[in-house]
Chain A
């Protein structure tokens, strides 16, 4: 009898894990990916949509087209996980049994946690949000643009900083920069969560005239008065406000009482097992791990889970561990970018921004569909070698 494996979520983590498991186990496993939409989104592209540099259509593909032929896809919403019974309940009334469960349900945006946020601000964390922001920017004729973060953790930590750098270039190209103010409202006492990256970024922001307000944790927005207020008691006026909405884990995690108060799954930092269960694994944005919520994280975690499940199915001791590897690009505008490569033990040492990393990011965006979900990215590609820069 083949092992039954259910993968919840058809994003990068779920898709890659399913494909790698199928490659490793062949007919020894029956794998089902459960995804409520059956569509796979390339979320890093939203930033470019917001700035009018890309259209939405290249960011979405049918999940079926990305899965190996033997992997089943159920376009269904999982509403309850029963860990002890080894089943997952579906919205339509059916259920699936599993010997191994992989939870790759990602993060969801919860704008309602901040009063006034939905009415008073724009975001680029969803395709619809990015398209609305692009439209607002097309009509922008100058003024104050404030960019802030309304909850931690959030996906793709470099994105708000990248946005300030890229909006600076956008406004200059449109001849609006001298009539505009761009400011980052950071929840920390620096521009970016990682200190070494902040040291590189802050001088570039200063050079570009991008303002920085520190310790600004968004508490509320007054859409009528165009004022955003922080938990620290500070108020800022704006003409255009761009906020990263608060994030939480998927509803199915909360409904199953498997996560913490925000729905993040208690996940072992090396084995990626959930809550002490030997046969439940989590990856990507769904975990409570203190690392970036990003596709890159899921990309490096998926082979670990696939390898560990393959070992368990074939009766050998799992030996593959996750070491916290993450790799992100960070656009600094003007056609340049830098990269952040790090793991649990080694903070990133980002190189000076240059054209090569910008081109690498551009290439990665274009090659994504044919490489990442299928596990075809060559092992020695720059995207997969964070240890080479470890101090």
Chain B
């Protein structure tokens, strides 16, 4: 898969739920359409919360990559 250029990376590792999702929402709130966000989260709840919110808010979940002790979510702001 081609590497997507990340507009903003949010390292939310160590933050408890719902911190990582809230950090993403805060970033998207102030961002531009087309921006790509990377969220690193070690919280288990993020695996369901982040995809569910991205779907509801009609943005695009590009990738969920399991890493060692955390997951990497890549999201594009589409509206």
Interface residues of A (CB under 8 A from B): 152-153, 187-189, 193, 195, 214-215, 217, 219, 231-233, 290
B4 to chain A, nearest CB (A): 22
Tell whether, in the assembled complex, residue A290 and residue B15 are in contact, meaning their CB atoms are under 8 Å apart: yes
Closest residue to B26 on the A side, CB-wise? Answer: A152
B53 contacts chain A at the CB level, 8 A cutoff: yes
- Per the CB 8 Å criterion, the residue count for chain B at the interface is 19
A267 to chain B, nearest CB (A): 14
A40 CA to B9 CA, complexed, in Å:
40
B66 contacts chain A at the CB level, 8 A cutoff: no
Choose among A152, A215, A219, A290 the residue that contacts B56 (Cβ–Cβ < 8 A). A215
A196 to chain B, nearest CB (A): 11
A152 CA to B19 CA, complexed, in Å:
9
18 pairs, CB–CB < 8 Å, chain A vs chain B? A152-B18, A153-B22, A187-B22, A187-B25, A188-B18, A189-B52, A189-B53, A193-B18, A195-B17, A214-B56, A219-B29, A231-B29, A232-B56, A232-B58, A233-B57, A233-B58, A290-B16, A290-B19
A195 CA to B46 CA, complexed, in Å:
13
Task: Write out the residue numbers on chain A whose beta carbons fall within 8 Å of the beta carbon of B16.
Answer: 290
Task: Write out the residue numbers on chain B whose beta carbons fall within 8 Å of the beta carbon of A219.
Answer: 29
Task: Write out the residue numbers on chain A whose beta carbons fall within 8 Å of the beta carbon of B11.
Answer: none
| Contact residues, B41-57 vs A (CB, 8 A) | 45, 49, 52-53, 56-57
Interface residues of B (CB under 8 A from A): 15-19, 21-22, 25-26, 28-29, 45, 49, 52-53, 56-58, 79
A208 CA to B57 CA, complexed, in Å:
29
Task: Using A189-B49, A189-B52, A233-B79 as known contacts, say yes or no to A152 and B22 having CB atoms under 8 A apart.
Answer: yes
Task: Write out the residue numbers on chain A whose beta carbons fall within 8 Å of the beta carbon of B19.
Answer: 290
Tell whether, in the assembled complex, residue B57 and residue A215 are in contact, meaning their CB atoms are under 8 Å apart: yes
Task: Using A152-B22, A290-B16 as known contacts, say yes or no to A231 and B28 having CB atoms under 8 A apart.
Answer: yes
Tell whether, in the assembled complex, residue B57 and residue A231 are in contact, meaning their CB atoms are under 8 Å apart: yes
Task: Using A187-B25, A232-B58 as known contacts, say yes or no to A215 and B15 having CB atoms under 8 A apart.
Answer: no
A152 CA to B23 CA, complexed, in Å:
9
A212 CA to B19 CA, complexed, in Å:
21
Choose among B15, B22, B45, B57 the residue that contacts A195 (Cβ–Cβ < 8 A). B45
Given A187-B22, A195-B45, A233-B57, 20 additional A-B pairs, CB 8 A = A152-B26, A153-B22, A189-B52, A189-B53, A215-B52, A215-B53, A215-B57, A217-B25, A217-B29, A219-B29, A231-B25, A231-B28, A231-B29, A231-B57, A232-B53, A232-B57, A233-B58, A233-B79, A290-B16, A290-B19
